[in-house]
Amino acid sequence: MGLETAQCAEPQEAGSCDNKEALWSFSVSENRCVPFYFSGCGGNNNRFPSREACEQTCPAAYVPDKCTLPAETGQCFNYRERWFFDTTFKK
């Protein structure tokens, strides 16, 4: 997985400040670029200034190895038990 496609596999992160900048990120679960609000600090590399920039870096046909994806915990407080593969412990 190249650097560009690795950033596409990162979970969407709004960051930890109070701004609301409208950006785009690639959603692995939806296999497409989706809009979100970035807080202005923190976050990760899965954010783009436009849908076009996101789609150019993360084509819709991009399908990452599911076992290497980070756990997506979501942004809300709906405490549901979920399972994911831990690449450190290989289980």
Which among 61, 39, 38, 59 is positioned nearest to 48, based on CA atoms? 38
Closest CA to 43 of 21, 64, 76, 28: 21
pTM (global) more than 0.75: no
**How many other CB atoms are there within 10 angstroms of residue 32's CB atom?**
16
What's the fold here for domain 3-63?
A: Factor Xa Inhibitor (4.10.410)
Interval 43-63: pLDDT, tens? 999 999 999 999 999 987 555
Amino acid at 40: G
Domain boundaries, the chain: 3-63
CB 40 within 8 A of CB 19: yes
For residues 81 and 3, the model is more confident at 81
The pair phi, psi for residue 9, each rounded to 5°, is -85, -10
